[in-house]
Amino acid sequence: MNANSFVSIYDVSKEKIIELLESAKRFEENPNQDLLHGKIVATLFFEPSTRTRLSFETAVNRLGGRVIGFSDASTTSSSKGETLKDTITMVSGYADLIIMRHYLDGAARYASEISSIPIINAGDGSNQHPSQTMLDLYSIFKTQGTLENLNICMVGDLKYGRTVHSLLMALSKFNPTFRFVAPEELKMPLEYKIFCDNNNINYSEHTDLMEVIDEADILYMTRVQRERFIDLMEYEKVKNCYILKNKMLDHTKENLKVLHPLPRVNEIESDVDSNPKAYYFQQARNGVFARQAIICDVLGIK
């Protein structure tokens, strides 16, 4: 077991979050640093993810490290029935760090218990995606100058969207006000509302985005995913309910930024892209710096 792994955002303290954000900021100012010289990083993607993998590999390359790994488990021995334990044990003999994405919930935690080298969770099923949360936090921190006392409006699929759940838990340390905007079928699960109640966090639920958009500092849009619906009739009913149009931003706050974990389908119309309040592409770019910070942290560099 390696104690330095980065597996779940729930393990990360407020102090550590701030430390990582400061570190990400330094990487943004100076992205090419030879801190991983001579190090080998294994990117094990048992489930494909273009953006996350490229972002991590960019981070490693900018730090002067080398990458081994795979981007599709069908070409590896796990498709022959090798256990995750065996794969991780083997790779931890080759590399200095493992960055893994897996289709099963909890895979990264389990890997961190087996591995002798640190594990960074790049997504475990529908459970956690903590580096996404760090880049979301960095994007908020960078555009608002703080994480404290912000009005965060979360829109779309709040039931299954793991990014909103992780972001909610992380931001809860910074006295936020949450506005949850979702169709009835995709409302924020009860456990997160109980969590807010227990921690005196101000929140309210809405079905109409226009009710709360003008007071928001951050508008966090998510995709209503077709594959989440058992009943496709339900999907057809709600899929167009939460589409952001440029005009809807007319009376919003000056400092508002629109975030989206991407990929977007149609939930943000393309005319929003040129609005200075649109921030989702810069947000994706911030992922490289946030991940540089995480990588150096787990390896104990600087």
Partner 1 sequence: MNKKELLVAGLQNGTVIDHIPSDQLFKVVSMLKLDTLSNPITIGNNLMSKKSGTKGIIKVTDKYFEKNEIDRVALIAPHAKLNRIANYEVVEKKELELPDELIDIVKCANPKCISNKEPMASRFDVIDKKNIVVKCHYCEKALHKDDIVLL
Q: Is 196 in the site for partner 1 (CB under 8 A)?
A: no
> In angstroms, rounded to a whole number, what is the distance separating the alpha carbons of residues 210 and 134?
28
Query: How large is the angle between the packed helices 130-144 and 50-62, nearest 10 degrees?
Result: 70
Minimum distance from residue 109 beta carbon to partner 1 (Å): 5
Q: Pattern of binders to partner 1 over 6-25, x per CB under 8 A?
A: --x-x---------------
Stretch that binds partner 1, among 35-43, 57-65, 106-114, 131-139 (CB under 8 A): 106-114
> In angstroms, rounded to a whole number, what is the distance separating the alpha carbons of residues 38 and 66?
8
Among 32, 50, 83, 240, binds partner 1 (CB under 8 A): 83
The DSSP bridge pattern shows strands 257-259 and 97-102 to be: unpaired
Stretch that binds partner 1, among 65-73, 124-132, 213-221, 234-242 (CB under 8 A): 124-132
Among 125, 151, 214, 269, binds partner 1 (CB under 8 A): 125
The answer to whether residues 302 and 27 touch, using CB atoms and an 8 Å cutoff, is: no
Active site residue 51: yes
> In angstroms, rounded to a whole number, what is the distance separating the alpha carbons of residues 273 and 259?
11
Q: Which is nearer to partner 1, 48 or 64 (CB)?
A: 48
If residue 270 lies in a helix (H) or strand (E), which one and from where to where?
none
What letter does residue 209 receive in the DSSP assignment?
G
Q: Which is nearer to partner 1, 31 or 106 (CB)?
A: 106
Among 41, 84, 164, 201, binds partner 1 (CB under 8 A): 84
User: Which of 51, 226, 247, 302 is labelled catalytic?
Assistant: 51
Per-residue buried b or exposed e for 81-113, using 16+ beta carbons within 10 Å of the residue's own CB: eeebeebbeebbeebbbbbbbbeeeebbbbbbe
Active site residue 80: yes
Q: Pattern of binders to partner 1 over 146-185, x per CB under 8 A?
A: ----------------------------------------
Number of residues that bind partner 1 (CB under 8 A): 19
The answer to whether residues 216 and 252 touch, using CB atoms and an 8 Å cutoff, is: yes
Give the dihedral of Cα atoms 284, 288, 293, 294; nearest 10 deg. Answer: 80
What letter does residue 147 receive in the DSSP assignment?
S
- Closest CA relative to residue 216, chosen from 243, 167, 164, 179: 179
- 198: helix, coil or strand? helix
Q: Which is nearer to partner 1, 126 or 225 (CB)?
A: 126
Stretch that binds partner 1, among 13-21, 107-115, 149-157, 293-301 (CB under 8 A): 107-115
Q: Which is nearer to partner 1, 48 or 106 (CB)?
A: 106
Among 66, 109, 159, 285, binds partner 1 (CB under 8 A): 109
Among 40, 104, 196, 248, binds partner 1 (CB under 8 A): 104
Question: How many Cβ atoms from other residues are within 10 Å of residue 9's Cβ?
Answer: 22
The answer to whether residues 119 and 91 touch, using CB atoms and an 8 Å cutoff, is: no
- Closest CA relative to residue 22, chosen from 137, 149, 166: 137
Q: Which is nearer to partner 1, 39 or 160 (CB)?
A: 160
Active site residue 252: no
Q: Which is nearer to partner 1, 41 or 108 (CB)?
A: 108
- Closest CA relative to residue 157, chosen from 88, 91, 231, 235: 235
Binding site for partner 1 (CB under 8 A): 8, 10, 83-85, 102-107, 109-110, 124-128, 191
Give the residue numbers marked as catalytic.
51-52, 80, 101, 129
